[in-house]
Amino acid sequence: MTQSRQIHLVRRPQGMPRADDFAVVPVETPDAAEGQVQLQALFVSVDPYMRPRLDADQPLDAPMLGSGIARVVQSRHADFKEGDLVRHFSGMQERFVSDGRGLQKLTPDPALPLSVYMHALGGTGITAYGGLLEVGALKDGEQVFVSTAGGAVGSVVAQIAKIKGCRVAGSTGSDDKAAWLRDVAGLDAVINYHKQPLASALREAMPNGIDVYFENVGGEQLDAVLPRMNVRGRIPVCGMISTYNGERAGVKNLSSMIYSRVRMEGFVASDFPHLNAQFQTDMTGWLKSGQIKYQETILDGFERAPEALVGLFEGKNAGKMLVRAAE
């Protein structure tokens, strides 16, 4: 038996989530029984997809659903030994026991920090890769626009598009992120949507229209983009973060999809198991060569997961937002 903690949702948020919609709950984690392992959380991930679940799928007074990296600290399971690292989808638990189902053993490349397996080499990376290349059917040299380009998914999308020889512009909500995208990630143009009217900024940033719009935001940004889409343009819909917290500005320009034959298609990270091997190879290479750069915002301390999640929705992250629960 070990003293540990869980993060629970204790109240469904009204609009923007607040830290006190959650609680840090002390629990006793049992030792691993025969056929089980006990795991210790190292990294806890907070992600935009969690927002809509807070309204429905996420049970109240139970551990928050979510993914992380954990270390095996007790093993009575033939496939695992103490010290093994795993990726899991067992939610926000400081320690937990598992029969091994749903655990994915991780052998990190020693040249890369472990945290990248929670973003560029993890769920957000394959979301970017599959969403852009398969759903977006990107062709080399096309015109690409990415919303929330400073986020964990958007920043990878933008850089993959650059690797594929595209002209790439992105939108973001802060000057710091804009500077990083322009100066470090190498985007051709960056729009700070708090400072520039989107429609005219977009005309200037994408003078040849848009072939692929990687959609993370919805609402006004989608409305500004739709009339700029080129014929047979694609809009992979990864997220619509502007609509998650109740401010639902209706989208008015959908009819421009008709003459432009635009295709808009929703997807989720788990749609791409068939791409995983190629993704791991490509992304490991791009990270090691420095062609894909990343930012992380890591809060230290398991108990800071609610703060991290709320901060994510308030845009306080630069790149991937993570919580480090232990070294």
* Interaction site with its own copies (CB under 8 A): 52, 218, 222, 237-240, 243-244, 248-252, 254-255, 257-268, 271
244 CB-side CA count, 13 A: 24
At its nearest, how many Å lie between its own copies and the CB of residue 319? 22
At its nearest, how many Å lie between its own copies and the CB of residue 214? 13
Closest CA to 215 of 98, 124, 132: 132
At its nearest, how many Å lie between its own copies and the CB of residue 327? 35
* Token code pair at residue 263: 């295709």
- Closer residue to its own copies in complex, CB, 182/263: 263
- Closer residue to its own copies in complex, CB, 33/249: 249
* Token code pair at residue 76: 């009575």
- Closer residue to its own copies in complex, CB, 240/308: 240
Closest CA to 77 of 129, 25, 33, 47: 33
At its nearest, how many Å lie between its own copies and the CB of residue 119? 19
Q: Which secondary-structure segment (H or E) carries 210?
A: strand 210-214
Identity of the residue numbered 99: D
- Closer residue to its own copies in complex, CB, 114/137: 137
- The dihedrals phi and psi of 252, each to the nearest 5 degrees, come to -105, -15
Q: Which secondary-structure segment (H or E) carries 95?
A: strand 95-98
- Whether the CB-CB separation of 73 and 82 falls below 8 Å is answered with yes
Helix axes 276-289 and 152-163, enclosed angle (nearest 10):
80
**CA-CA distance, 73 to 2, in Å (whole number)?**
11
At its nearest, how many Å lie between its own copies and the CB of residue 135? 9
At its nearest, how many Å lie between its own copies and the CB of residue 184? 29
At its nearest, how many Å lie between its own copies and the CB of residue 146? 16
- Closer residue to its own copies in complex, CB, 12/248: 248
- Closer residue to its own copies in complex, CB, 210/222: 222
Identity of the residue numbered 119: H
- Closer residue to its own copies in complex, CB, 52/186: 52
* Token code pair at residue 29: 């984690």
Closest CA to 182 of 203, 159, 200: 159
